[in-house]
Amino acid sequence: MNKNTVLRALRILRDEGLLDSQRGRGITVVGTSERSTVVERVRTLVEYGRRQGYRPGELIRIIEGMS
């Protein structure tokens, strides 16, 4: 198995909120597949919002106004 492929996969899982890695402590599973799905959808929303001219803070206010 290629080391770069493994490192890339670990980085993706970390970015999706599924893993936490700390120097000297190793890697810990901290999320669920449901959380990963939500993170991916939020990432898509933020990308879409930026293309429409919204800043992250504006998107946060819109989301907070929904609850």
Q: How confident is the model at residue 2 (pLDDT cuts 50, 70, 90)?
A: confident
pLDDT in tens, 26-65: 888 888 878 878 888 988 999 999 999 999 899 999 989 9
Q: How many residues can be counted in the chain?
A: 67
* Domain ranges, ordered by start, for the chain: 1-30, 32-67
Residues 56, 48: Cα–Cα separation, whole Å: 11
Query: 18, 31 in Cβ contact below 8 A?
Result: yes
pLDDT of 31 reads 80
pTM value? Answer: 0.56
